[in-house]
Amino acid sequence: MILTPIEKIKEIIDFEMGIYYLMLIARKKDNEHLTHSTEKVIRRVVRNELHLENSINELAGIANYDKENNYKLYISLNPRNSLKAYKNLKEQFANWDNEIINNPNIANKILKVDDEWISCLARNPAKKKWFMLDLDDKKKMGQLKNLVEDYHNIHILGEFETQNGYHILFQPCDTRKLMEDINALEINCELKKDDLLCIGYYDKNGK
C-alpha cells in the first residue's frame, strides 16, 4: 500500500479537539468483481497518535495481504464529537427497542453496533478544522494552486496525493467565489467541508 508518511498525517490531526476514525475500503468502482453489497469496509476509531499509527499499520497490512482487491485508506478530515455521537447512538438504541418486536432484522443491526457507533461519529464533527478540495486530475494541480494561493490568497496547509489527483486542505473560509472560478476554468474539483481524507491506496496491479 502506498501510504502518506505518518508524520505528515499527524500535522493535520488534533486529538485535543476530538477523536478520529479510519476507513479501509475496497469499492465496487475499483474492483469490477465486487457488488455494492460485497464491498469490503473496515473502520477503526483512533484516540491518540500511537493508536493512529498502529491502526494505520494494521489496515495497510490487511490491504497488502489481500491480493484480490484494490483498497483505499481514509481518515476523517475533522475531529469527531464523541458526546454528540453517544447521544445519537442512545437514540438509535431506543429506536431499535421500539422496532425489535415487529422487525426481526433489527437483531442483525445489533450485532453490528460497532458500525453504528462509527456512523454516529461520522455524523458529528467536533469542529470543522479543515475544508478540502478534492482534485481528480493531477495535471491540473499547478493551475489550481495558483488560483487558490495567488489569486484568492488562501493558504494551502496540506497537499495529499491520491491515486488520481490530490486532496488539498485549507482553513474554513468563504469559498463561493473560489468555486465559481474553479468551475469557470473547468477544473474537475469538488469542495468538501467534512469528509474523508485519502491517506493511502493499494492497487493489486501496481498502478
Residue 110 is predicted with a pLDDT of 75
The pTM (predicted TM-score) of the whole model is 0.89
Same domain, 64 and 19: yes
Q: Are residues 146 and 187 in the same domain?
A: yes
- Shared-domain flag, residues 99 and 74: no
pLDDT on residue 67: 87
Residues 140, 72, single domain; the answer is: no
- For residue 57, the enclosing domain spans 2-79
- Predicted confidence at residue 97, as pLDDT, reads 81
CA distance 206 to 38: 23
Tell me which residues of the chain have a pLDDT lower than 70.
206-207
Task: For residues 113 and 71, state if they share a domain.
Answer: no
Number of domains in the chain: 3
pLDDT of residue 207: 55
Q: Last residue of some domain: 46, 62, 79?
A: 79
Q: Are residues 156 and 97 in the same domain?
A: no
Any idea how long the chain is? 207
pLDDT in tens, 31-60: 999 999 999 999 999 999 999 999 999 999
- Which is it for strands 166-170 and 196-202: parallel, antiparallel or unpaired? unpaired
Return the beta strands (E) in the chain as ranges: 2-3, 20-26, 40-46, 71-76, 131-135, 158-161, 166-170, 189-192, 196-202
Task: Indicate if 110 and 152 belong to the same structural domain.
Answer: no
| The pLDDT value given to residue 101 | 72
pLDDT tens per residue across span 70-84? 999 999 999 999 999
Q: What pLDDT does 158 receive?
A: 94
Are 14 and 36 members of one domain?
yes
